[in-house]
Structure 1
């Protein structure tokens, strides 16, 4: 059986944490911009760090598994 949790969790986090799609941290004019569809180097770095931390939380610490 193959464990599908890493693929599904990583894909979902990537979709939700893409800078400018739902929220952008830090925003261009405010600390948080919503639905701006624009990005900056600082927001890419912040979103990449949050993505990595959440991915480690789900896969390493919580040990999420989904066998299909």
Structure 2
């Protein structure tokens, strides 16, 4: 059996945390912008850090597993 949890969690986090798609931290004019489809290097860095921390939380600390 293959463990599908890392693939599904990483894909979902990547889709939700892509800067500018749903929200952007920090925004250009405000601390949080919603659906503006514009990014900055600082926003990419913040989203990458949040992605890495959440991925570690789900996979290493909580040890999520999904066997199909």
TM-score over 0.5 for the alignment?
A: yes
**Any stretches of 5+ residues in structure 2 without a counterpart?**
none
Report the secondary structure of 1:36's partner residue.
Answer: coil
Q: Give the equivalent residue in structure 2 for 1:62.
A: 62
Count of residues in Structure 1 that have an aligned counterpart in Structure 2? 68
CA deviation string 1:21-57 (max 9, x = no partner):
0000000000100000110000000000000000000
Q: Give the equivalent residue in structure 2 for 1:29.
A: 29
Q: Distance in 2 between matches of 1:28 and 1:19?
A: 12
Greater than 6 Å deviation, 4+ residue runs = none
TM-score using structure 1 length: 0.99
**Any stretches of 5+ residues in structure 1 without a counterpart?**
none
TM-score using structure 2 length: 0.99
